Amino acid sequence: MERKKKILLEGRGPALLDVITYRLTGHSPSDSGSYRSKEELALWEQEDCLKGYAAYLTGNGIAGAGDLAKLKEEVVRRMVRVLELAISPEISPFIDTRRDSIGELMFSNRKVERFEEREPEVLLPQAENPRLKANERKSRSGLDESGKPLPKAKVLAYRDALFEAMLHRFYIDPTMVAYGEENRDWGGAFAVYRGLTEALPYHRLFNTSISEGAIVGTAVGYAVCGGRVVPELMYCDFLGRAGDEVFNQVSKWQSMSAGVLTMPLVLRVSVGSKYGAQHSQDWTSIVAHIPGLKVYFPATPYDAKGMLNLALAGSDPVVFFESQRLYDIGELFVKEGVPAGYYEVPEGEPAVRREGRDLTIISIGATLYRALEAAEELQSRYGVSAELIDARFINPLNYEKILESVRKTGKVLLTSDACERASYLQNMAATIAQAAFDELDGPPVVVGSRNWITPGADLEDAFFPQKSWIIDAIHERLLPLPGHQPATDQSVGEMLRRSRQGV
């Protein structure tokens, strides 16, 4: 301690203090301690830190034996009182588990503009931001007046929309920080943060080591201490490296603390493609399985900004998925384009992207655009009117619009880039089947990615759902299309064959 204190006082810190301690009793009541001898325990009992500190106090005339006895008596009295309060059914009754009591504690569902009332530390006025000025010269819509797509260089893209949401909150909440691999340099990962480096001091936006556990773990600590934090994992595939932090820490502290703590943490996670087996996986279903996490997956620039605004205005943990396929696309669905000002997308509400009467197609993430291609071909070639719904949210998710559509069409297909087995689509399909069983003409159909490791870019069309897969699945399992010649086998028999093979 003396050596470390000297280092700190000289301004050469921080310093690591490696402390060895010893557990005198077992980790649990079932731990009999048979792996250590009585002699070993006796030696460590002589090194009891409480006894040693008591001897230090008395030896230096700071406290007498009577003082320490009174202190021990007071500690015991307090501990007994705490125990009584904890176990008394009158004072501390059990919650009513017939209600959703524990569930009600998982999310605070509060809006918090800022966590401290002080001026945010910035490097230049928001209006002078060079990227914001560049955005002003772009079309807020991805379509021209005749409805034709504009060149990507001329439109406000998905990544630009994310940037605007981040910039807005940085200039309002002085506690907000963001960090991850290459977040500050080169415009951040996939150029989402280009323009933030000029606007923010390093301690509000900085680079980290390639350590997903450290990135999310420190974010948990910052959030429970009262700050807003946006950690980023550059690839969804490495979510497992932060598994405990995401699944046991981010998700649980609000409920475990009975709402005393909040978790204003937005974990940005990109879902890759083109980069093979370890960099191109959609793990939304894994995250969706964990109670206590909100899960968003915007597929359009309008939603990217509005949903990130929503996440950054709250005090709950949000895992915010983004597809690398979408970063450069413009807004194709909202006619007016992406608003320049602040707005939020209503939480949990899916969006109807195309109205139809014959069948319902539901998508999550980037597969929206493949589904749109399929819907357009179904209409032009077969006269089939498909209603297309973008789920946008995975948790929470309001099924009202989905069920309204399914009850109208009687047929539903669900699609996303996640591997088909145990994907969140399967959960949605089961929910729809139970809630709209009497109105369905047949069981819901799920079209996901193959249950393989993700292949390299040149083979991705055989892995991720394609327009032809969606149309073939509709023909095979929902609605026979006159004269249609399937390009792929999407039959129930093929589905069962793959299951037998584990693929």
**Residue 73 is assigned to a structural domain of this protein:** no
**Residue 443 is assigned to a structural domain of this protein:** yes
- 306, 451: one domain: no
**Residue 72 is assigned to a structural domain of this protein:** no
Residue ending a domain, among 323, 338, 372, is: 323
Query: What would the pLDDT profile of 254-273 be if each residue is shown by its tens digit?
Result: 999 989 999 999 999 999 88
Which structural domain range is residue 419 located in?
351-501
- 245, 376: one domain: no
- 282, 359: one domain: no
Query: What would the pLDDT profile of 430-452 be if each residue is shown by its tens digit?
Result: 999 999 999 999 999 999 999 99
- 180, 315: one domain: yes
Count of the separate structural domains present in the chain: 2
Least Cα distance to 70 among 49, 82, 54 occurs for 54
* CA distance linking residue 279 with residue 300, whole number of Å: 22
- 278, 364: one domain: no
* pLDDT given at position 26: 84
* CA distance linking residue 389 with residue 367, whole number of Å: 11
* CA distance linking residue 152 with residue 326, whole number of Å: 11
Domain CATH for 486? 3.40.50.920
* pLDDT given at position 448: 97
**Residue 99 is assigned to a structural domain of this protein:** no
27 in active site:
no
Low-confidence ranges of the chain (pLDDT < 50): none
Domain CATH for 293? 3.40.50.970
- 306, 356: one domain: no
* pLDDT given at position 494: 95
* pLDDT given at position 34: 85
* pLDDT given at position 298: 98
**Residue 21 is assigned to a structural domain of this protein:** no
* pLDDT given at position 84: 92
Query: What are the CA-CA distances from residue 272 to residues 41, 51, 356 (Å)?
Result: 54, 57, 31
The three-class DSSP label of residue 179 is strand
**Residue 269 is assigned to a structural domain of this protein:** yes
* pLDDT given at position 116: 96
* pLDDT given at position 111: 96
Check 27, 168, 279, 475 and give the catalytic one: 279
User: Cβ distance 391 to 431 under 8 Å?
Assistant: no
- 388, 491: one domain: yes
- 305, 358: one domain: no
* CA distance linking residue 99 with residue 77, whole number of Å: 36
- 143, 184: one domain: yes
- 238, 317: one domain: yes
User: Cβ distance 362 to 392 under 8 Å?
Assistant: no
* pLDDT given at position 416: 97
* pLDDT given at position 285: 95
